Amino acid sequence: MQLTGQNFVVLGAGQGIGENTVHALAQGGARVLCVDLDEGRASAVAKAARGIACVADISTRAGVEKIFATAKREFDGRLDGIVDVVGIGVGKTLNTLDDQSWQHQFDMVVGHAFLALQLGTPLLARGGSVVLVGSMAGEWPRGGTLLAYASAKAALHHLARSAAQELAPQGIRVNVVAPGLTRTPRLLDANDEAFWQAQAAEIPLSRAGTPADIANAILFLSSPMAAHITGVVLAVDGGANIGMLRPIAKSARAS
């Protein structure tokens, strides 16, 4: 898991999964460009991890161009990994979604990932990696207020698989970490402890994930330990994708 001497860019580094990812990469020996729209958050995580702060709007081409121009300058043109954590739900149903909200949802989940792949991968050394943070919502049908979010995450997963195929001849790997329910700052603010206990009862490992759980998976896929892994969507959901495993009370008998 050693990343000594390697250079990484983390988009959405300011809190939660992004912040934990910066620390995981730094503890492995990597130097990290910590990107966030909030200057205070970018500076705080960069200082704590001895990285480099970068304030940029990842939803625009100009913003992403700024990020990788900064990475090229700070890292002398050599980049070993990109991690994109950004992705927020708009929280509208099929009947309440308007064109602007639908487009905004895809911009906030898929648009910046496309830009990071297009603008960032030319800097990656052979053996470099891209890890996109998707969601198990992108693997399962999700209606209601998650409809647009789930659709965008499904598109993100497909983008990653397709990019993995295209970039493999260059020795560049592209993978997805797909969290299940995770105790991110945003979700902790929105839900009480009763919610978390009720949800934990439906998860085979009996708890929601933590940002550190997701960061550990990102670290693995970013490291030489995953050198022969590309085009994978790795579920980090406590087993929720397989459902609760209940023992059979009585063996079936032939009549």
CATH number of 195's domain: 3.40.50.720
Q: Tell whether 255 is covered by a domain.
A: no
Which one of 149, 180, 221, 235 is the catalytic residue? 149
Q: Tell whether 247 is covered by a domain.
A: no
Note whether 245 and 204 are within 8 A (CB).
yes
pLDDT per residue of the chain (255 residues) written in tens, 0 to 9: 789 999 999 999 999 999 999 999 999 999 999 999 999 999 999 999 999 999 999 999 999 999 999 999 999 999 999 999 998 888 889 999 999 999 999 999 999 999 999 999 999 999 999 999 999 999 988 888 889 999 999 999 999 999 999 999 999 999 999 999 999 888 888 889 998 999 888 899 999 999 999 999 999 999 999 999 999 999 999 999 887 554 444 444 443
Q: Tell whether 68 is covered by a domain.
A: yes
Handedness of CA 113, 118, 124, 128 (dihedral sign): positive
233 is an active site residue: no
Q: Tell whether 249 is covered by a domain.
A: no
Q: Tell whether 252 is covered by a domain.
A: no
Q: Tell whether 250 is covered by a domain.
A: no
Measured CA to CA, the distance from residue 90 to residue 224 in angstroms comes to 36
pTM assigned to the model = 0.92
Measured CA to CA, the distance from residue 148 to residue 104 in angstroms comes to 10
Q: In which domain, by residue range, is 13 found?
A: 7-239
* Residue 209 CA: distances (Å) to CA of 16, 109, 233: 12, 20, 17
